[in-house]
Amino acid sequence: MKRTPLFAAHEALGARFVDFGGWEMPVQYTGIIAEHQAVRQRAGLFDVSHMGEIELRGPRALAACQALTVNDVGRLHDGQAQYSLLCLPSGGVVDDIIVHRIAPERLLLCVNAGNTAKDLAWVREHHGGAEVVDRSAEVAQLALQGPRATDILMPVTDLPLREIPSFSFREGQVAGRRALVARTGYTGEDGWEIYCGAEAALAVWNALLDGGRPLGMAPAGLGARDTLRLERALPLYGHELTEETTPLEAGLGWVVRLNKGEFIGRDALRRQRETGVQRQLVGLMMHAPGIARQGYRIFHGPDAVGAVTSGTKSPTLGKAIALGYVASTWKEVGTKLGIEIRGRTSEAEVVPLPFYKRAV
């Protein structure tokens, strides 16, 4: 299994590890719920160096990115980032990614760890004349998330953080090392994703840990990352997103810019937008004891109408929540459905998404 440059640091903190997309990653340090609450109330620090980084370079970089992704890269200025998707001609999702425009001839794609090899092959196959550079091994990534994230990062960077809006980034210094600092995240909180050289990761990690502890920050693992993203209804590849699901079915229609020009998947997605989707990702709240998990079947009366893609007990709400696909007939908020848990059907209801949204 692969390890990030911070593996020994996690071990020293008493982390418990899990295999995630071929990486030996910390799943928790003290406990998932405590780490989840730390992020919601104060701050948490995640090692997400397993994520892949692919750069498109050269005069054809923008056009190539425009053809590869469903969102409109033409709307980005230097220093801006955008949530986007790589799709198949069928409209199925290859991966969900963040595109960073460093310069007109330099675009950085942050991709999912488990998809990095697949994405790289896909991007190389459809390079459109751009140079494709895999930077995954040389780049480490830390996510500092939570209402106190900016206060914690401020003393160790030369960047004017308050001037960097959401989904924007700057290059500067963190803990004396060169870094790209983006106001992005995967928790539903304000926060930062910090890209630095693999050799700088430990210095940046330690500086943030030392500075953050007095402000109640905790190192947080993939367990809390999952409950945090699920409360905010952010999709996870392999659960809500697969090559068999389209962005429109997943409720990501806002990401798909059909009028921006040619891109892979456009025709299929245009057809689906015209005809409507047969199934839809919905939020579900359990009204009976039990927790819905990936793969559990969803019923309307005696009829199987879908399946759960992710589920947990929400630490913030204290109730069991789930995301799942149901036949579009049953997608409306308030619809009463059943989820089969160990042979018995437990009552659930379609609720608005996200389950949790931070107060602005």
Partner 1 sequence: MEFPEDLKYSKEHEWVLVEENVATVGITDYAQDQLGDIVFVEMPAIGDKVSKEDAFGVVESVKAVSDIYAPVSGKVLEVNDDLPDNPEMVNEDPYGDGWMIKIEMNDPEELHDLMTAAEYEEYVAEEKE
Q: Interface residues with partner 1 (CB under 8 A)?
A: 16, 27-28, 31-34, 223, 226-227, 289-291, 293, 312-313, 315, 320, 342
CB 259, min distance to partner 1, A:
42
Cβ closest to partner 1, residue 35 vs residue 53: 35
Token pair recorded at residue 30? 């003290």
Cβ closest to partner 1, residue 29 vs residue 192: 29
Number of residues written out for the chain: 360
CB 110, min distance to partner 1, A:
24
Token pair recorded at residue 50? 């397993």
- Give the sign of the dihedral formed by CA 184, CA 269, CA 62, CA 58: positive
Cβ closest to partner 1, residue 321 vs residue 350: 321
CB 344, min distance to partner 1, A:
10
- Do residues 264 and 68 lie in contact, with contact meaning Cβ atoms separated by under 8 Å? yes
Cβ closest to partner 1, residue 85 vs residue 286: 286
CB 4, min distance to partner 1, A:
20
CB 290, min distance to partner 1, A:
7
Cβ closest to partner 1, residue 4 vs residue 227: 227
- Which of helix, strand or coil describes residue 351? strand
CB 341, min distance to partner 1, A:
9
CA 262 to chain centre: 26
86 in the Ramachandran plot: left (φ > 0), alpha (ψ -120 to 50) or beta?
beta
Round to whole Å and give the CA distance between 321 and 155. 38
* 106: CB partners within 8 A, 6+ apart: 55, 56, 57, 61
Query: Is 281 exposed, middle or buried (CB count within 10 Å of its CB: 0-12, 13-18, 19+)?
Result: buried
Cβ closest to partner 1, residue 53 vs residue 226: 226
* Distances, alpha carbon 222 to alpha carbons 19, 25, 64, 181, 230, in Å: 10, 7, 32, 21, 12
Helices 32-41 and 222-231 cross at an angle (nearest 10°) of 60
Cβ closest to partner 1, residue 12 vs residue 359: 12
Cβ closest to partner 1, residue 35 vs residue 249: 35
Name the amino acid, one letter, at 20. Answer: F
* 303: CB partners within 8 A, 6+ apart: none
CB 227, min distance to partner 1, A:
6
Cβ closest to partner 1, residue 119 vs residue 226: 226
Other C-beta atoms closer than 10 Å to the C-beta of 294 total: 16
CB 16, min distance to partner 1, A:
8
* 26: CB partners within 8 A, 6+ apart: 10, 13, 15, 16, 17, 18, 47, 219, 221, 222
Query: Is 240 exposed, middle or buried (CB count within 10 Å of its CB: 0-12, 13-18, 19+)?
Result: buried
CB 49, min distance to partner 1, A:
21
CB 293, min distance to partner 1, A:
6
Cβ closest to partner 1, residue 101 vs residue 232: 232
Q: Which of 146, 108, 154, 145 is nearest to 130 (CA)?
A: 108
